[in-house]
Structure 1
């Protein structure tokens, strides 16, 4: 659910600087590794509770942590801990959709109505391709939900949402463009529909298909599709949301919650190691044939930076890298790799949403550039 943190309006001008213990890395001292750790420490100082990262490059694999796993303690963030991966889920969903296309069971130009009759207005004009690349024009259901520190947000903590409920919240609003396919507008609604289409085509829930087609073959042991389970399972840092109190705004531990509100748009749990392994396999052609991987890396609109469930960005050294990022308020993750897969990085943080997130994102960008540039 990528745009959640970026759309928050609760940031304050002052940073909430958190006292942190000495960071621990899983690699011996090395000038380049020390620089990576320094960048990760900067991410924490910028306004996060904890942070963890894994970098893969020609020197090997480096893992680093910073901050604390839980406020009020000095407990270190677990190396390769589990986090809610947010919109990185979309790349998994897109991979399954494209596998079904490769099998001839689904077409990129199939309309929503041909698979889910009557579910969305104008579904006879919206294609699977347009859902994947966010050019459908469907309103983003996330924009209809209360956000912290509003009291209504906490009231939904344990609620089980169905995709149908969330889709109806979206289609109660007018589309974001006059016709599908002409403009990029990020919408989590698109991927709820893709999850439903996977189920229609296969007869199995989209999460089952991800487990069967991706998680088990790649042996992603820290990756799950939780459904309605509030648990992360395994070692993990705690995640927090701001709440209003008589004295101002404080952070509430929101690690455990019902993730059905994210669904196929962002419910998955994973680790830095697993996400690096997934993107290496995807970009290396292990999950899709070349023609569909090419389609995945083709922008939905001219000059865009998002294809069929896959994003890209250019580093400060001019290298184009591919992957995705995602946020679920309590966790934010980034996972990118160079096209030749010689360099990869996954970073995950537990944000302090009272901080200035422009500063946090700048610190993360500096870490990504350091990891991905020769």
Structure 2
């Protein structure tokens, strides 16, 4: 799948898809900040002390994000055996001031929220609070039509067949006028309850009968969040915080609910309008709920990946369930329970990608949790994103395969990530 000028938030939440249109149901009051000068986009932040440690230097791949103006900023971090071996940042954090990017800044992680949520569900399975093969109807009676035939496992691995609520037309923009409404209007502040989001999804016919196919659906993870709420008596956000964020000391990771801003250092996000860039940083992410509500940093995401795949968060039986996959339709990727397996030709890689308008995220690493890369970049909404698409692939291959990358690794990576992003939807 190519990155197009108009992309759906359905795709953003499932992982940066660009075929189709983009969500406009959550409009925000953006501010036009003037023209986007090429120099402002391409100017990198000064290279940090970590730029060439550990035999990793992906600065060229990172610069590709901003070289053609498709993104305003990008930063990434690679860790190995719990140690940072490379971190760098390029681009401009704030176009109004020209402030360079800080590599330790916070960003919206979109669908990288899903592994956090699936981990908590699996912990509840390990505690005997539910089973993966329980029907949804047992725990959420009356919420989902045919809920007696859909299992918890099918929610987590996207084989439920449930329609993705973010593909409903009310969530899309598709032309300059609706992009302007998204950037400058008032709908982006709208609060959604998870029950509302599920109701929108189940009002559409399912894609297929439960277990008879694979299709990414954010509705699945809103339901997973509701399961956590029902079983624990606490919100999914508080359970993720209590069970994962605090024990791992992920001090810059939050799941903000309806809070529209980002606290601490962060990059601004922008949409392209005829009169110049519009700041679209603010967002009420209740529209993403447990499918894409999180905010984090590259350091925190790398540490979460290392803990999850290093076996520190789940018991052996649930760890095995996490990485039991179903095919996605690509020969280079498959999907487990909130995590994806990708084959670039240099060994199995595990993780997720995600995004919301103005932010893209990639978190992938080795199956043993010993090496991972976390990437954040800021697509300049309304511009051709094909350059950013290629840059994601190049950076993933360089940081995770390095000198061992076989011929065809880039093609395999592109195929794997396209399948996971919902190509052809």
**TM-score, with structure 2 as normaliser:** 0.80
The question of whether the paired residues in 2 share the 8 Å contact of 1:68 and 1:77 is answered with yes
Which residue is 1:189 aligned to? 219
Match of 1:180 in 2: 210
Matched, 1:49 2:77: no
C-alpha distance in structure 2 between counterparts of 1:175 and 1:346, whole Å: 34
Q: Which moved more, 1:34-43 or 1:306-315?
A: 34-43
Of 190, 193, 196, which residue of structure 2 is paired with 1:165? 196
> What corresponds to 1:13 in structure 2?
none
Deviates more, 1:37-46 or 1:135-144: 37-46
Partner of 1:113, secondary structure, is helix
Quick check: 1:21–1:74 contact (8 Å CA) kept in 2?
no
Are residue 27 (structure 1) and residue 38 (structure 2) matched?
no
Pairing 1:261–2:261 present? no
RMSD (Å), alpha carbons = 2.3
| Alpha-carbon spacing, 1:360–1:4, altered in 2? closer, same or farther (3 Å) | closer
Aligned twin of 1:67:
91
Give the alignment partner of residue 292 of structure 1, picking from 318, 322, 329.
318
Match of 2:303 in 1: 277
Deviation at 1:5, TM superposition (A): 4.0
Distance 1:176 1:54 in 2: 38
1:206-245 Cα shifts (integer Å, max 9, x gaps): 00100000000000011001011112111000112345xx
Hey, what does 2:411 align to over in structure 1? none
**In 2, are the aligned partners of 1:20 and 1:74 still within 8 Å (CA)?**
no
Deviation at residue 361 of structure 1 after TM alignment = 1.3
Pairing partner for 1:354 from 369, 373, 382: 382
Indicate the residue corresponding to 1:126 in structure 2. Answer: 150
Q: Which runs of 5+ in 1 are unaligned?
A: 11-15
Q: How many residues are paired up?
A: 364
Per-residue deviation, 1:29: 6.2
- Give the 3 Å change call, closer, same or farther, for CA 105–169 of structure 1 in structure 2: same
**Is the Cα contact below 8 Å between 1:132 and 1:191 reproduced in 2?**
yes
Residue aligned with 1:96, SS: helix
Query: Is the counterpart of residue 147 in structure 1 residue 172 in structure 2?
Result: yes
The separation in 1 between residues aligned to 2:299 and 2:84, in whole angstroms, is 13
CA distance in 1, matches of 2:231, 2:356: 28
Once residues 246 and 54 of structure 2 are traced to their aligned partners in structure 1, the CA distance between those partners, rounded to angstroms, is 34
SS at match of 1:182: coil
Give the equivalent residue in structure 1 for 2:393.
365
Shift of 1:297: 1.1
Question: CA separation of 1:104/1:168 partners in 2, compared to 1, >3 Å: closer, same or farther?
Answer: same
CA distance in 2, matches of 1:368, 1:203: 39
**Distance in 2 of aligned mates of 1:80 and 1:60:** 12
- How far apart are residue 250 of structure 1 and its match? 4.6
User: Quick one: which of 123, 138, 141 aligns to 1:114?
Assistant: 138
1:105 aligns with 2:98: no
Matched, 1:2 2:2: no
